[in-house]
Structure formats: C-alpha cells, structure tokens
Amino acid sequence: ETGVTQTPRHLVMGMTNKKSLKCEQHLGHNAMYWYKQSAKKPLELMFVYNFKEQTENNSVPSRFSPECPNSSHLFLHLHTLQPEDSALYLCASSQEAGGNSPLHFGNGTRLTVT
C-alpha cells in the first residue's frame, strides 16, 4: 500500500458511543494531521503531530482525543459527540511540519452522529 489510508470510510454513531478513527501513512513522513471538513466551511485544522509529539491543538473539544503511537499511525478517539460533529474527517501527513511541505491526504472518514 502507498499513501495515506483512513478507516473506516463511513461511521454512524450515537451520541453516547465511543469509536475511533484510524489513519496510517506509508510515505515515511514525520508529521501527521487531523482536519475537519464540514459543508460550506473551510477545512479546520484540529491536531498536528511532529515526530509523534503533539504540536498543535486548535482549541478542539475534549470529546475528540488524538493518539499518535508512532510516525506512521494516527488515531482520533471519539466519545460523547454532538450532531454538529458530523463531518468528513481527513488525515494528512507531510515530510516535516514545516510551511512548504505539501500535505498528502487520506480519503477521509464520513462521520454521522445521530
């Protein structure tokens, strides 16, 4: 496999459920990101990890909990979500967490909170 792989592609969960999104990159990159894409809104950066260390938390509610066990894997743990959290969640990676390193995106997880 190559590129950035996200699972699952689709997820429906109730507000009291706990679920996790998984992201894996096979590009040898050192930085990984979570973005939220909602309809009619710009992409929102949620978290940045550089060499497994979290370097950015963009005021994300605590019901979203990221985990980065190594430079190739990134998780987003979800609990007690709200309907407004329904969105496409995109994982991305880059060679380094620097301004000119282009991001490589996965195909996203379409999350619906009921």
Partner 1 sequence: AQSVTQLGSHVSVSEGALVLLRCNYSSSVPPYLFWYVQYPNQGLQLLLKYTTGATLVKGINGFEAEFKKSETSFHLTKPSAHMSDAAEYFCAVSGNAGGTSYGKLTFGQGTILTVHP
Binding site for partner 1 (CB under 8 A): 4, 6, 31, 33, 40-43, 45, 48, 50, 55-56, 90, 92, 94, 96-108
The DSSP letter of residue 15 is T
By beta-carbon proximity to partner 1, the closer residue of 60 and 80 is: 60
By beta-carbon proximity to partner 1, the closer residue of 65 and 107 is: 107
Residue 19's identity, in one-letter code, is K
By beta-carbon proximity to partner 1, the closer residue of 69 and 102 is: 102
Least distance between partner 1 and beta carbon 100 (Å): 5
Task: Tell which phi-psi region holds residue 75, choosing left (phi > 0), alpha (psi between -120 and 50) or beta.
Answer: beta
Phi, psi dihedrals of residue 103, rounded to the nearest 5°: -90, 145
Q: Which residues have a Cβ under 8 Å from the Cβ of 44 and sit 6 or more positions away?
A: 35, 36, 37, 38, 58
Least distance between partner 1 and beta carbon 63 (Å): 23
Place of tokens 């990134």: 74
Least distance between partner 1 and beta carbon 84 (Å): 18
